[in-house]
Amino acid sequence: MGAKILQQDRLPELVDELISTHEVIGPKDELSYGRITSASAMYLSDKIPVRSLKEFLFPQREVLVEFQLAADQVRLTTPTIPADVARVVFASCPCDAAAFPILDQVFAWDYMDSSYLQRRENTVIISIACENPDRACFCVSVGGSPIESEGSDLLFTPLGEVYHVEIVTGRGKALVAEHAAFFRESNPEINRQRSVFEERSRAKITKQVDVTGLPEALSFDNPVWETVAEQCTDCGTCTYLCPTCHCFDIQDEGSSARQGERVRLWDACAFADYTRAHAGQPRPVHYRRYRQRIMHKFKYYQENFGETLCVGCGRCIRHCPVSVDITQVIKAVRE
Ligand code: SF4
Ligand code: SF4
């Protein structure tokens, strides 16, 4: 859809203009993205935040319905998602944005998840290309790249004094048109510099894993699952930080049985009570829970939707308290 140029020193002005008309989400610190109320509060760094963006479209705790029993009446109230909250995510990592088209397939599959889909519809995502991927990043192995535009509406690539601005979607195009005074046309020299940027960034990604033919190679009955799962403590950190993990539980909470809320809460296949039903826990043994995570990401999801449930962001490697490395696990299972 074309490309533009933005002077880097005009970025704060653009962000403040967006804040005047939109709810703007951006990196707040090394830990997380959050609501930004002034461009000066944004934490622009080349490090990927610890927490991913998914909580802004798929909150960790979400009220589905409020209930109240009065006499023989049951009153149900469904919280509304305001359709007119226009939101811009600014400075997303490309891999965080790339997770959303993957999540879209789940949330618009056999059930249309209106709260996720409405937030998705209302959100414009502006990503900044990755200049310094770290040792845990492996996006290139799962089809991504440091300048991946999938899932973004606009992709900014920092090139010295300017950003190269790739217009990826109609939503991105509309945002550029609304703020046309900030942008000028790109030119062949800037396009060339962007190719050099990509080459340099890609070269910094040293972690690799071969996912070719992985769905066929992953065997449910492979005895190696017990060995590779030994190190994992089932803490669930990797699933909560993962931008593509999307399992949830639905529970009733309230001060009494007569009044309360039905809530959706993130859940994790690592937890011992995950999917427990009246008949018991289908995966009572630890290694089976660990196997489920890997099989879901690299086999079941691929079979259902034709792609891998992983964008290679490296969070599960970077933040695992006992240094489990998913790429090493895949290699071990393959071998
Ligand atoms: S973060 Fe590490 S220890 Fe915790 S569940 Fe994931 S793999 Fe296991
Ligand atoms: S599995 Fe790990 S590397 Fe892949 S998207 Fe999730 S957190 Fe990132």
Q: What is the pLDDT of residues 60-109, one digit of tens each?
A: 999 999 999 988 899 999 988 776 679 999 999 999 999 999 999 999 99
Question: Does the Cβ of 158 fall within 6 Å of ligand 2?
Answer: no
Residue nearest to atom 5 of ligand 2 (CA): 310
Mean pLDDT of 257-272: 92
User: Last residue of some domain: 175, 203, 231?
Assistant: 203
Q: Is 130 within the bounds of a domain?
A: yes
Please tell me whether residue 144 adopts helix, strand or coil conformation: coil
213's torsion region: left (phi>0), alpha (psi -120 to 50) or beta? left
pLDDT at 277 exceeding the cut of 80 = no
The answer on 136 and 40 residing in a single domain is: yes
Percent of the chain with pLDDT strictly greater than 70:
99
pLDDT band at residue 116 using 50, 70 and 90 as cut-offs: very high
Cα-Cα-Cα-Cα dihedral sign, residues 226, 232, 234, 240: negative
Pocket test for ligand 2, best of 103, 245, 296, 326 (most atoms within 8 A of CB): 326
Same structural domain for residues 171 and 250?
no
In a domain, 282, yes or no: yes
Cβ(313) – ligand 2 distance below 6 Å: yes
Which range of residues forms the domain containing residue 58? Answer: 3-203
CB of 323 sitting under 6 A from ligand 1: no
Same domain assignment for residues 226 and 184: no
User: Which ligand ends up closest to the CA of 51?
Assistant: 2
Structural contact between residues 63 and 97, judged by C-beta atoms closer than 8 angstroms: no
Taking only the tens place, the pLDDT of each residue in 122-151 is 999 999 999 999 999 999 999 999 999 999
Residue-level pLDDT at 81: 76
Residues 13 and 139 in one domain: yes
Instruction: Determine, yes or no, domain membership for 209.
Output: no
- pLDDT for residue 265 is more than 90: yes
Number of domains in the chain: 2
The rounded mean pLDDT for the chain is 94
**Section 265-278 average pLDDT:** 86
Does residue 246 sit in the same domain as residue 188?
no
Identify the CA nearest to 54 among candidates 102, 21, 114, 13.
Answer: 102
Note whether residue 322 is domain-resident. yes
Residues 268, 254: Cα–Cα separation, whole Å:
23
Question: Region 292-314: what's the mean pLDDT?
Answer: 96
Considering the domain architecture, whether residues 232 and 259 belong to the same structural domain is answered as: yes
- Domain identity same for 307 and 239: yes
Q: Would the pLDDT of 264 be above 90?
A: yes
Of 82-86, 116-120, 133-137, 160-164, which range is least confident?
Answer: 82-86
Q: Would you state the pLDDT for residue 83?
A: 66
Residue 276: pLDDT above 80? Answer: no
Residues 242 and 194 placed together within one structural domain of the fold? no
Instruction: For residue 268, give the ligand nearest its CA.
Output: 1
Are 177 and 248 part of one and the same domain? no
- Secondary structure of residue 25 in the 3-state scheme: strand
Mean pLDDT calculated for residue range 153-171: 97
Least confident of 80-89, 221-230, 303-312: 80-89
Is residue 253 situated within a structural domain? yes
Q: Which ligand is nearest to the CA of 317?
A: 2
Instruction: Decide which of 137, 170, 203 is a domain's last residue.
Output: 203
Q: CA of 331: how far to CAs of 7, 103, 225, 294, 320, in Å?
A: 44, 26, 12, 12, 18
CA distances 120 to 101, 171, 289, Å, are 10, 12, 30
Are residues 219 and 274 both part of a single domain? yes
Answer for the pair 268, 283: CB distance below 8 angstroms, yes or no: no
| pLDDT the model gives residue 280 | 79
Whether 162 and 271 share a structural domain: no
Q: Is 229 part of any domain?
A: yes
Distance (Å, rounded) from C-alpha 68 to C-alpha 130?
49
Q: For residue 208, tell me if it sits in a domain.
A: no
Residue at a domain's end among 203, 229, 255: 203
Considering the domain boundaries, does residue 304 fall inside one? Answer: yes
Distance 229 CA to ligand 1 centre (A): 9
283 or 27, greater pLDDT: 27
Establish whether residue 232 lines the binding site of ligand 1, counting it when its CB lies within 6 angstroms of any ligand atom.
yes
Residue 285 clears pLDDT 90, i.e. is over it: no
pLDDT surpassing 70 at residue 49: yes
The arithmetic mean of pLDDT across residues 213-240, rounded, is 93
Asked if residue 191 and residue 55 are part of one domain, the reply reads yes
